[in-house]
Structure 1
């Protein structure tokens, strides 16, 4: 249950701490006092979306903190364990959410940082909020199946899971078949296009990495002529008449004659002789290199043509030769599939028929169980309505199937199926004797819708393990005896669960185990919402205000005091 809620710098709330108790906790206040703000703040602790707009003007951040007490075996304890949050043996759980004025949110559970996804996994097990939005959902008949399936979860769960798995496979296979069943013209056009592309690639007879090798050859051929010319120039400078070696040989001959007359020329001669023989080796090597270089301009032209061809293919099919070859393999596989189109089409059609047969069995089983649950839920709702001052109302749940030529054959008839099965669910009601059952969404008044919703919520509250229920103005549109019936119903629910109820009805407020007043105070410079728990005398004053409006008289106070006493008596009897 929710033990305490602390809110700071949230919207027009500066600082509020509210301690709740077991039973029926009532919150009242003038319109615009900030009752919905309390629900919004609590919603953040359940995983609601954060916004910078929540932060009080001029403050750096808003803070919302809730203290929850979970009994042993509560599903929320398992969720905390799964996300790595430590829980003390007393089952106390602190959930905190900080929102900066930049819209960033920090979440902690028992002081440990967690993600929003983790909080959203835990939130539904802590508190269930029932508001006017839920009542509006009763007007949408396509949502009725959700209420019924929530009621019958224990009976429907396994069958619905099995059906859901089959339906997913059936839907996927059907979509595959629809894609394959393209008209013949589109198929032929696709085959022609892919075959042309494959022929063009195969005609090029590409080899892996060929483009890189050709680029290297191209670079080599573009430079070879220049290298050959350099070698020839060097060779001609060293070899031949009046060239380098000729003059070096002449110098060597003169020195050989001179050493006969001067010994100091001997080392100079030796150096010239060494240089001559080295240059002779250089000339030999240059001649050999020039013989080895076989430059043909046609070879470079051939490389250029091949690279142009590959570049043309790259623009169409890939960034490299390897990419082009990979694309060719892909379209080859697709062509093979298309050429075996008829065989594959028959296989998928057979698979779809088998899945449809299995789906029909599961849909029928799910429908039988759902019909049984519908009968039980209708009886329980009718009983609840009797306790809500609709003693002669009749309630039924219509479970029907819709023929569909494109559906699944079930019991010899093709029927519409979706993710929920083959059933369409609609709530029917006859509020008054002598009237036939008609769709709830078409004939029920606002007060009747509120009571039907409260009946459903009361029933569903007994099927889950959520300890705290919040009713946000679910009594809208009712008054008089109907309002008293709703008040007593909420008090009975509060006997099994902790209930927080925002209300404008004094009948409901008179049944409170704890009554809180939400009040907006305005000064010259700021507006602030406060929440105070009322004493017995303050409760009398608040109920008198709710009864009479602006002017509170002694008679309205006396009436209010009487309502509180009667409320205590009724709770004791119930």
Structure 2
């Protein structure tokens, strides 16, 4: 972020082809980010604020960073210096081979079997814990279950008890208030000649009836007065009945207090916030107790499932390995062809698969082999850069420039299987000279048949193959450095920039740039005619 700025906003608008759509649509549907099935563009936005907070949006909808990354990975594949280094790590090689062999979906299905096996083995390990510990656990569970069952808890019991306790502790006040209401309403218990409310309401109803017989407009009001009088009578009966029910029982209040104390103790002991939580714990405890009591039967059942899965996994892994072996040979041959074009004619390249025996591994023939979610194979790319030298891991023989060219060769070979539509190469020219740079440029340009390719380079021979050129430069503006990206739209601009990249001056330098650009165009034309 620029010094003094409050935020930085990066936004990209992407169009996509049918292949990219096939990858993107399920993801966009799952995240409810697709309103228009016929949409041909998608906008990704990342905003970073000065206070360290950031936000991400897809088509204007806020998403988390992980979703933005997944969508971005489906649209753009970036290759920088660190990616060249990743090629030196053998653990990445199996993914490259499986992508070329179109095995990623098959491998995903295989991994589900392995995941199932891991779950079974985890349960077996749990059942094989120390027997004394299991017995102690079972005894504790039995005590807990018995204690909860003995309490005979009811789901709404606590609320009902609290309500009853409130009535009992306030019984004297309830009786006083009820008596006062009855006295005012019906005259019951009155010590003066005050007319009860019911009598007054009945008199009002009678008067309203007489008024209505004279003026019919008062009929509804008369009915209302009569209804009020009747409701007052009903209220009196209700209060009289309620007064008879009011009681103060110290014994019952004590029972309620003890019951609530028991419920509170059980809630604290079992980490529950209510009676439902206590009952849930009892149910879970019973399930665990059943599992412990039937552990031997369950253990035999799980071991049988484990054996069956180990045979299934072994058969599938063996088939995966056979495909990798065959496709790996083809991949090696294709990479060697590409490397020969990149002036590495004497290079040998091999995809080597190895397996390791494991007494707890899957069954493959008469062996038990180690495996993981990818299968039984350890895949490693080996190379010999010079005749007479043995094949060795890339990290031990490949220079920086060779690693970049191997990455390009693999990208070329894998391009048809790669559904990512935009490829970005940064520092692909690391460690290579002008002659090889032209070949690398040609190879990169050939990738544009199925991909959009963006290349950042300082090598003019490589840059000359681009269909569009942009110059990135820095300029001072109000004491601040501004980065500018300028499209070079004319041949004069392209020639001038290539000459500048060559470090050549004068007419000779300009002519060299013209020749480089002409050679690249001639070569591209020849490739188009093939």
Same fold (TM over 0.5): yes
2:499 aligned residue (526, 540, 544): 544
Q: Which of 112, 115, 134 pairs up with 1:168?
A: 115
For this pair of structures, how many residues does the alignment match?
A: 453
Equivalent residues of 2:57, 2:68 under 8 A apart: no
Q: Distance in 1 between matches of 2:23 and 2:174?
A: 80
Residue 325 of structure 1: CA displacement? 4.1
Q: TM-score if structure 2 supplies the norm length?
A: 0.74
1:522 is the counterpart of 2:476? yes
- Per the TM alignment, residue 573 of structure 1 is displaced from its structure 2 partner at its CA by 3.7
**Any idea what SS the aligned residue of 2:11 has?**
strand
Q: Is the 8 A contact 1:381 1:395 kept in 2?
A: yes
Q: 1:200 aligns with which of 115, 133, 147?
A: 147
1:150 and 2:104 are equivalent in the alignment: no
Helix, strand or coil at the partner of 2:458: coil
* Aligned residue number for residue 459 of structure 1: 413
Q: Structure 1 length normalisation: TM-score? A: 0.69
Cα separation, partners in 2 of 1:192 and 1:543, compared to 1, 3 Å = same
When structure 1 is superposed on structure 2, of 527-536 and 183-192 the one drifting more is 527-536
CA contact (8 A) 1:159 1:365 kept: no
Cα distance 1:84–1:122, how it changes in 2: closer, same or farther (>3 A)?
Answer: farther
- The alpha-carbon distance between structure 1 residues 340 and 370, as it changes in their structure 2 partners (threshold 3 A), is same
- Is 1:488–1:511's contact at 8 Å kept on the other side of the alignment? yes
Q: How does 1:233-244 map to 2 (within 5 A)?
A: none
- 1:555 aligns with 508
Paired position in structure 2 for 1:387: 341
Query: Deviation at 1:214?
Result: 5.3
Q: Assess, with a 3 A threshold, how the Cα gap between structure 1 residues 459 and 297 changes in structure 2: closer, same or farther.
A: closer
Counterpart CA distance in 2 for 1:446 and 1:304 is 81
1:200 to partner: Cα distance: 3.1
Distance in 2, Cα, partners of 1:493 & 1:572: 15
Cα distance in structure 1, aligned partners of 2:169 and 2:441: 97
Q: Map residues 12-23 of structure 1 onto 2, 5 A cutoff.
A: none
Residue 137 (1) aligns with residue 91 (2): no
Unaligned runs of 5+ in 2: 177-190, 192-242
Superposed CA offset, 1:389-415 (max 9, x none): 000100001111122233223223222
Show the counterpart of 2:521: 568
Q: Does 1:95 align with 2:43?
A: yes
Does 1:418 pair with 2:372?
A: yes
Kept in 2, the 8 Å contact 1:177–1:348? The answer is: yes
Within 1, Cα distance between the matches of 2:497 and 2:434?
Answer: 18
- State the partner residue of 2:199: none
Unaligned runs of 5+ in 1: 1-52, 230-244, 246-288
Give the CA deviation at 1:307: 4.6
- 8 Å CA contact 1:159–1:362 kept in 2: the answer is no
Q: Which has the higher contact order (CA 8 A, sep 6+)?
A: 1
Q: Residues 76 and 126 of structure 1 are in contact (CA less than 8 Å); yes or no, is this contact kept in structure 2?
A: no
Superposed displacement of residue 380, structure 1 = 0.5
Q: Cα offset for 1:60?
A: 6.9
CA displacement 1:8-41 (0-9 Å, x = unmatched): xxxxxxxxxxxxxxxxxxxxxxxxxxxxxxxxxx
Q: Structure 1 residues 563 and 188 mapped into 2: Cα distance closer, same or farther (>3 Å)?
A: same
1:84 paired to 2:32: no
CA distance change for structure 1 residues 349 and 463 in 2, over 3 Å: closer, same or farther? Answer: same
Partner of 1:353: 307
Conservation of the 8 A alpha-carbon contact between 2:23 and 2:74: no
Give how far 1:184 is off: 1.2
> In terms of mean alpha carbon deviation, does 217-226 or 330-339 score higher?
217-226
Match in the other structure for 2:13? 66
Q: CA deviation at 1:367?
A: 1.0
Q: Is the 8 A contact 1:76 1:125 kept in 2?
A: no
Q: 1:189 aligns with which of 136, 147, 171?
A: 136
Question: Given the superposition, is the C-alpha separation of residues 321 and 86 from structure 1 closer, same or farther in structure 2, using an over 3 Å criterion?
Answer: closer
Deviation (angstroms), 1:64: 3.3
For each residue in 1:108-138, what CA deviation from the matched residue of structure 2 results, as whole angstroms up to 9, or x when unmatched? 3xxx758578866664554433322321110
CA distance in 2 between partners of 1:95 and 1:294 (Å) = 73
Deviations, residues 254-285 of structure 1 (Å, cap 9, x unaligned): xxxxxxxxxxxxxxxxxxxxxxxxxxxxxxxx
Distance 1:304 1:425, change over 3 A: same
Matches within 5 A, 1:271-290: none
Q: Residues 469 and 211 from structure 1, CA distance in 2 versus in 1: closer, same or farther, beyond 3 angstroms?
A: closer
